[in-house]
Copies of this chain bind each other. A is one copy, B any other.
Amino acid sequence: MNDIAGLINHAQNAYARCIDSGNLEAWPDFFEEDCVYKITTADNRAQGLEAGLIFANSRGMLIDRVASLREANIYERHVYRHFLGQPWIVSQNANDVRSETSFFVARIMRDGTTDVYATGQYIDTYTLTGTEPKLRERIVVCDSSRFDTLLALPL
Number of copies: 3
How far apart are A61's CB and chain B's nearest CB, in angstroms?
Answer: 27
Q: Give residues of chain A (7-55) contacting chain B, Cβ–Cβ below 8 Å.
A: 9-10, 13-14, 16-17, 20, 42
Q: Is the CB of B86 within 8 A of A13?
A: yes
Number of interface residues of A (CB under 8 A): 38
How far apart are A106's CB and chain B's nearest CB, in angstroms?
Answer: 5
Chain B residue numbers with a CB within 8 Å of A108 are: 119, 143-144
Q: Is the CB of B146 within 8 A of A81?
A: no
Q: Give residues of chain A (105-145) contacting chain B, Cβ–Cβ below 8 Å.
A: 106, 108, 111-116, 118-120, 143-145
What are 20 A-B pairs at a CB distance below 8 A?
A1-B1, A1-B6, A1-B9, A1-B10, A13-B88, A16-B85, A16-B102, A17-B88, A42-B79, A81-B104, A82-B85, A82-B102, A83-B83, A83-B104, A104-B104, A106-B116, A108-B143, A112-B145, A112-B147, A114-B119
Q: Which 10 pairs across A and B sit closest by C-beta, in order of nearness?
A: A112-B146, A81-B119, A108-B143, A112-B144, A1-B6, A106-B119, A13-B86, A114-B116, A108-B144, A112-B145
